[in-house]
Amino acid sequence: MAKETYNGWANYETWNVSLFINNDEVWYNIARTVSDYDQFVNELSGYYSVDPNSSDDLVTLDGVSLRDPLLDIDELNEMIDELND
């Protein structure tokens, strides 16, 4: 059985987060300075003054959590790596 995808991404959540990283100037510029997705979330938390270990959650404007368990972190790491090439 073929793996279901969303616009070429693993799922809607991964696609949505990648969409915002690539289309929001602040998020994009931060993504270009980090080595992986976890570092991206930590840097973004600092930018917005949100404790990355708190229950406060960073979300896209569509409400997808940047810590959503459905996110394909490997795919997001690959995207960040490509941004930094």
Q: Note the pLDDT tens digit of each residue in 15-27.
A: 999 999 999 999 9
d(CA 55, CA 42): 14
**Nearest-5° angle of CA 65, CA 63, CA 83?**
60
Band (4; pLDDT cuts 50, 70, 90): low
- Quick: pLDDT tens for 30-67: 999 999 999 999 999 999 998 766 767 899 999 999 99
Asked if the model's pLDDT at residue 1 lies above 70, the reply is no
Beta bridge partners of 59: 65
**DSSP tag of 5:** -
Residue closest to 43 by CA, chosen among 28, 56, 23: 28
Global confidence as pTM: 0.89
34: tokens are: 């980090």
